[in-house]
Structures are given as C-alpha cells and as structure tokens.
C-alpha cells in the first residue's frame, strides 16, 4: 500500500497537542480518509486472520487500538466541518459520510470478527472485571448490530445505514447554511427598542459583515431569545419568533421537510432488518430505559404537572401583559418578553442587572474553579494555535502532583460555518493501553460575540450551557478506564447527560456565585441580595421549559415508533401530536422537526431526546447528596462522585454506578421538588 504522510497523521494526539491547521487543505481529506480506511481494514483483517485461538489479548486489545490514523483525520475533519465549514467541505462531507458509515458497518458485520469475539465471550468469566465488561459490551453490540444476520441482510443493512447517514449530513448542512445565509434583518433601531446600545452595535456590526443594511440577528437560540426578552416592539418579536421556529421550513434548497420521512423510513428499515419492532425499540434497548415505553412513561408522568405549572406561569404573564396595555391574547412570541417582566416584578431580578456579573471570563473561571475544588485538578492556560483564533487552550493538571491530566480547548463564539448549539467532543480519548494516552477534549458554543472592544456578557441560560458542556468535558478528561471503548463519555445514552446536567447545579450555588462572579467593570462581587434573588427565582419558568423539553422528547419517540405512511406530512404529525397531548396553545417545542438537529443531524439522539429528562432525575438526586451534607463541596461525597460518575466511564452498568454513589436506586423526589412539579405552590 502506498502511504502518504498528511498533517493529520503525526503523533499530535499522543503528545497532547494539535496538528498544524494551516498546513491542512480541504483537498487532502478524501485521499487521507481513503488511505486511513484501507489501513484500518488491513489492521482488522490481520487481527481476524491470526491463526492462534482467539484470546482477549490477541483480539480485543488490538481491535481497541486499530485505526489510529482514521481516528485522527476523522477528528480533524469533524471540528472543521462543524465549526469552520465551507461549501467545499460540505460537498466532501456529503460524499464522505456514507463511505465512513459503510466502512464501519462492514467491519462490524465481518463473520470472523464475531467468531473471535464470541470465542472470547465464552471464556469471559476468567477475565478481570473491566476486561469482562468490554467483552460483554462488544458482544452485545455486535449481536444487536446484526452480526448473526444472513449475508443478504447484512449487505442491506450496510446500504440502508449509509443512505441514512448521507441524508443526515444533508439535513445538518441545510440547517447550517440557512442560519448562516438568512439572518433576521431589521431595518431600523426603532424596531428594536429595549435592546442595549452594546447589543445594537453588535447587530449592526454583524449586518455590515454581510453587507446588509440595518441590524442582523443570527437565528440561533441564544441570540434570538436574548432579543425577544428585551424588545418591546411586538411586531418585531412576532416576526423574529416566526423566523426562528420556521428554520428550514420555508421552501427552497434548505427546506428539510422532504428529508425527514426519508430518514425515518431508512431508520425503520434498519430496525426491521435487525429484528426490532421499531427504531425506537432498537435505540433504547441498550440504554437504562431499555424500551421506548419506559422512556415515554417518565415523560407522561411529568407532562400533567409540567402543564399545570406552565398554566400558573401563563396567568402571571397575562396579568403583566394586561398591565402593560396588551389587550390581545398572549402569544408564543410574547412569552420570553413578559417572563422577564414578571421575573423583574416578582423577584426584582433583571437579566440586564445580572449580565455584568456573568461575563464570559467570570463564568468560565467559576466553572474551572468548581471543577478544581471538586476533583483536585488545575486549569493552566497554554499558548496553542487551534482551528480558529477564538480557540483557547488549557493544560489540565493534577493539583497535588502537577502531573498532566488532559488538554482542554474551548471555542465559544458563534460564527458562519458553525453548527448551531453547543457540544463537547474529543480529539483523543483517554485510555491505558500501549503506554496510555491523555485526553484532548473540546467544548464548542454559539454565544454571541461582542462588538469589538466590548466584554462578552452571558445570559443565565448561556452560563448554564457553559457549565453543562464543561460537565461533559470533565467526563472525558477524568476518565480512568483502561480500554478506549469504555472510557469517558462512551456510556449509555441516557446516562451521558448526568455529568453535564449535574455540573450545572454549581453555577447557582451561592458560594460559587459570591466568589467568582465579579462585575465586569467594577470588579465588585455579585451582591448577596442579587444572589438571594437568583436562588428564589430558580423554579421560575420551569413549567414552560419542561413542557418544551417533554413535548420534543415525546414527539421524537413517537416519530421513531410508528411506520411512515405514504402521505406523511411532518407538519400534520406535529399538529396531531399537539392535539392528542392537549399541548398548551401557547406552548412550544424545544425544537421543531425541520431544525431538530439532535434527531436528524445524526442518529445518536434519534429516539433518544428523552435522555435529558431521564438524566434530570439522576442529576437532581445526585446533587441532593451534597445538599444533605449541607456542603456543595463535601470532600467525601466529591471523591465518590469522581470515582463512580466522572471517572468510571462504562466500566460498570450505569445503574450499578449510580447505586454505588447514592447507596440506592434513583428517586424522582429531588427533581419534582427543585422544578416545582410536586404539586406545591411555586415560590
């Protein structure tokens, strides 16, 4: 095989650094991927053709280490195609995604692969616990993935998953392109009364960059909801809200309506080939929930309490609107605006008053310091050139010994060519094989970038997002698993959100706020009175937020549980759902289908958006352990948290890990209490 040395293929992932991004050209990717896939397949074939009887050491261990060059180029392509995408990269991605899908699926369905792993599985009782766990998980995954299918069905499965992957890539690119190319444009500042001068300056600057007249709001949640919260012009709010919820639902080349039934049909075919009743059954069988009915049961149990609380919130908002002179029925585009007014009136808490204390630097310092105190680590800035000038790098060190733990990178600001939302991923995962490897972990956000010379100020929601994604990052960085497949965030999908959602709890801990949230201009700590208001207002809006999350989760499960009819119309399906569940007229989905990236950008969260609510039960129960000690940094509880949640990966079943930490199975009490869904009157 003729090999070429590309910038991707250096030892950067073993040395906790990054490749030279300036040396990377788009034209390199396809030949590099083709070479790396051939290398990976040759490595796998060599393992499977070993004439010696299959053992853990000659089969599972080398399989865990195979394909390093493919891992490297894939990691670099993923970050560039998701944060610095171009039309050229999108074309490469649309060609590449089915090839990668076919490559990995073909390997997973090789008869010799299952034969050797099955042979080791038969001897698993003689293995050490973590090695046995790896064999059991690999064997289970192969069986559920079709390893026992006849050859014709295997080939059909390969084709179906490749087709679905191609369509998912198109869905993601359509969403990115529409958000980048079609901002919401307002001609005059008179239509944006209520927005601060700094915000107007940034929106003007964003419009100028696109050579547009007026003010441009990128149709991403943080930017849109920030504007809806402050803008007193109801017509502008209506237009902005309508544009936001109708992304990729406006006809033209970026409309995603036609892609949705095609993706759902292919997923249903995949599930049928594998012998499952539906894709939802296939997606949940490997999770804690095990069945879509179990997941739906939790959602439905919370639905009535959430609607009840939202109705109470709505009455408060309607009173505020009436006092403001609004004599028409409250609409969805009014919710965020009047919610902010009620919050100011009821709790004397104004987002504009909060923001100076929630600068990007202050929130990041609070998040880092919380992690340091809980887990005995230290973040040290490092000068390192990333994939964009906004990228910041940090060495993560053991506080006691100074030994390296990980390399952590952040890319927080929104820009064109970047997927919506926020996420964590890895350039390299931690493991202990072949000399071991330290993790290289990154967080990506889409926080509005301030006008030149101004500090970045975050909303409470954005600050929560920063803490959330660092929680995922810590899950990857603190891993102590021996084997890559069991390390870090490679856990069951409805357990993966526990470390991230749990970490959010520390943002609003009074001790954390008092110490780290300083006024961006004066440097004064956030006042005790303001902290008290934040704490008292924590249940505010939880009915609305829970209805949004539950409706999206339940719609997701239903979409993936039912056959796709010949006359399938996603807008009608959505309307029928609203009617059957008596969804509040003013209620909203967290994501509407045509821009529901969690569901249709990939299959990871398909029939799995429920995991956020499932994990909410876990994270509130886990944090309650600290509350019971009356100390958010209780040392022994933090040590148990590190051992059983953040560092364990998938070395044990998540139910066993939770029980090892809590001493019992999860309870919903803390979730219901903290969200005000237990029938008590809201604070």
The predicted pLDDT at position 4 comes to 78
pLDDT higher than threshold 60 for residue 22: yes
pLDDT higher than threshold 50 for residue 683: no
The predicted pLDDT at position 5 comes to 84
Q: Is residue 486 a contact partner of residue 260, using CB atoms and an 8 Å limit? A: no
In the structure, what pLDDT confidence band is assigned to residue 587 with cuts at 50, 70 and 90?
very high
Q: Give per-residue burial for 61-91: e unless 16+ CB within 10 Å, then b.
A: bbbbbbbbbbbbbbbbbebbbbbbbeeebbe
pTM of the model: 0.94
Q: Rounded distance, CA 86 to CA 92, Å?
A: 10
When the candidates are 1.20.1050, 2.40.30, 1.20.272, 1.10.10, the CATH number that belongs to 7-83+110-148 is 1.20.1050
Length of the chain in terms of residues written: 683
The predicted pLDDT at position 333 comes to 97
- Chain segment 313-339, per-residue pLDDT in tens: 999 999 999 999 999 999 999 999 999
- Chain segment 258-312, per-residue pLDDT in tens: 999 999 999 999 999 999 999 999 999 999 999 999 999 999 999 999 999 999 9
Q: In the CATH scheme, what architecture does the domain 350-536+610-683 have? A: Orthogonal Bundle (1.10)
pLDDT higher than threshold 70 for residue 636: yes
Q: Which of 469, 504, 542, 558 is catalytic?
A: 469
Q: Is residue 41 a contact partner of residue 103, using CB atoms and an 8 Å limit? A: yes
The predicted pLDDT at position 1 comes to 57
- Chain segment 430-485, per-residue pLDDT in tens: 999 999 999 999 999 999 999 888 999 999 999 999 999 999 999 999 999 999 99
Listed in order, strand segments (DSSP E) in 538-654 are none
The predicted pLDDT at position 682 comes to 30
Query: Would you list the domain boundaries of the chain?
Result: 7-83+110-148, 182-245, 350-536+610-683
Q: Rounded distance, CA 423 to CA 291, Å?
A: 26
Q: Rounded distance, CA 110 to CA 117, Å?
A: 11
Q: Average model confidence (pLDDT) for the chain?
A: 95
Q: Mapping DSSP to helix (H, G, I), strand (E, B) and coil, where does residue 381 land? A: strand
Q: Mapping DSSP to helix (H, G, I), strand (E, B) and coil, where does residue 196 land? A: coil
Name the percent of the chain lying above pLDDT 90: 96
Q: Annotated catalytic, 469? A: yes
């Amino acid at each position: 095989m003729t090999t070429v040395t590309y910038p991707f293929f250096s030892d950067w992932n073993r040395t906790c650094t990054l490749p030279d991004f300036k040396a990377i050209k788009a034209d390199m990717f396809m030949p590099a991927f083709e070479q790396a896939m051939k290398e990976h397949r040759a490595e796998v074939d060599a393992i499977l053709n070993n004439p010696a009887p299959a053992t853990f050491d000659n089969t599972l261990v080398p399989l865990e280490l195979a394909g390093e060059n493919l891992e490297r180029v894939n990691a670099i392509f993923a970050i560039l195609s998701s944060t610095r995408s171009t039309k050229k990269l999108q074309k490469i991605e649309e060609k590449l995604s089915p090839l990668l899908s076919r490559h990995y699926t073909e390997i997973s369905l090789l008869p010799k692969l299952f034969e050797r792993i099955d042979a080791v599985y038969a001897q698993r009782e003689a293995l050490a616990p973590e090695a046995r766990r790896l064999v059991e998980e690999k064997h289970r995954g192969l069986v559920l993935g079709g390893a026992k299918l006849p050859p014709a069905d295997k080939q059909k499965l390969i084709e179906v998953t490749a087709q679905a992957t191609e369509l998912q890539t198109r869905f993601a690119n359509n969403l990115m392109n529409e958000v980048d190319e079609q901002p919401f444009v307002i001609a005059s500042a008179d239509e944006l009364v209520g927005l601060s001068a700094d915000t107007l300056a940034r929106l003007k600057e964003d419009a100028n960059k696109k050579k547009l007249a007026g003010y441009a709001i990128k149709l991403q949640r943080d930017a849109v909801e920030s504007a809806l919260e402050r803008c007193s012009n109801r017509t502008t709010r209506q237009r902005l809200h309508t544009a936001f919820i109708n992304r990729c639902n406006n006809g033209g080349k970026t409309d995603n309506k036609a892609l949705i039934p095609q993706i759902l049909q292919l997923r249903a075919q995949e599930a049928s080939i594998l012998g499952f009743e539906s894709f939802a059954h296939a997606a949940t069988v490997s999770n804690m929930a095990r069945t879509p009915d179990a997941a739906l049961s939790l959602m439905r149990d919370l639905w009535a309490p959430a609607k009840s609380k939202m109705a109470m919130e709505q009455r408060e908002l309607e009173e505020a609107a009436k006092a403001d002179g609004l004599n028409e029925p409250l609409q969805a585009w009014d919710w965020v605006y009047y919610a902010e007014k009620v919050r100011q009136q009821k709790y004397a808490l104004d987002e504009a008053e909060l923001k100076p204390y929630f600068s990007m630097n202050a929130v990041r310092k609070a998040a880092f310091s919380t992690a340091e105190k809980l887990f005995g680590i230290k973040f040290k800035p490092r000068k390192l050139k990333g994939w964009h000038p906004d990228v910041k790098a940090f060495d993560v060190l053991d506080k006691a010994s100074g030994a390296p733990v990980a390399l952590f990178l952040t890319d927080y600001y929104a820009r064109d060519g970047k997927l919506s939302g926020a996420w964590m991923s890895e350039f390299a995962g931690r493991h202990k094989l072949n000399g071991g490897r330290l993790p290289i972990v990154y967080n990506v956000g889409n926080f509005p970038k301030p006008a030149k010379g101004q500090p970045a100020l975050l909303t409470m929601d954005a600050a929560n997002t920063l803490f959330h994604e660092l929680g995922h990052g810590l899950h990857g960085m603190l891993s102590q698993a021996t084997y890559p497949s069991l390390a870090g965030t490679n856990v069951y999908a409805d357990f993966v959100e526990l470390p991230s959602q749990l970490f959010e709890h520390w943002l609003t801990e009074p001790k954390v706020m008092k110490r780290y949230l300083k006024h961006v201009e004066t440097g004064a700590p956030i006042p005790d009175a303001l902290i008290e208001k934040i704490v008292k207002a924590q249940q505010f809006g939880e009915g609305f937020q829970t209805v949004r999350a539950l409706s999206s989760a339940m719609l997701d499960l239903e979409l993936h549980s039912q056959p796709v009819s010949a006359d399938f119309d996603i807008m009608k399906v959505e309307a029928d759902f609203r009617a059957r569940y008596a969804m509040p007229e003013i209620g909203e989905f967290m994501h509407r289908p045509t821009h529901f990236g969690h569901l249709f950008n990939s299959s990871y969260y398909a029939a799995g958006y429920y995991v956020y609510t499932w994990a909410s039960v876990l994270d509130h129960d886990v944090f309650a352990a600290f509350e019971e000690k009356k100390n958010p940094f209780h040392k022994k509880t933090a040590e148990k948290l590190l051992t059983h949640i953040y560092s364990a990966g998938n070395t044990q079943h998540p139910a066993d890990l939770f029980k090892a930490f809590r001493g019992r199975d999860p309870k919903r009490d803390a979730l219901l209490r903290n969200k005000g869904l237990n029938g008590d009157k809201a604070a």
